[in-house]
Amino acid sequence: MNKAKVLSITNSENNSIAKLSDVNLPYHFSEEFSAYDPLENLTSQLPVIAFIEILAHRASKK
């Protein structure tokens, strides 16, 4: 039986998802919150999406 590996991309290597993954890629961005709503996280996820796109393109070429 083939076992799948779990890859996670998180902001920290010290969270539950990272610890449960076989490979974790932490990106360590500072979180930025709204001045009007302290619960509204404004941290961009675009770099993570770009990284996933790069991985997908490279995997499709193999």
User: How is the chain split among helix, strand and coil, in percent rounded to 5?
Assistant: 35, 15, 50
pLDDT single digits (tens) 40-62 = 888 878 888 888 899 899 989 87
Domain ranges of the chain: 7-61
Q: What is the pLDDT of residue 42?
A: 83
* pLDDT cut 90: percent of the chain above it: 31
Which phi and psi angles does 9 have, rounded to 5°?
Answer: -125, 110
Q: How confident is the model at residue 30 (pLDDT cuts 50, 70, 90)?
A: confident
- Mean pLDDT, range 21-46, rounded to an integer: 87
pTM above 0.85, yes or no: no
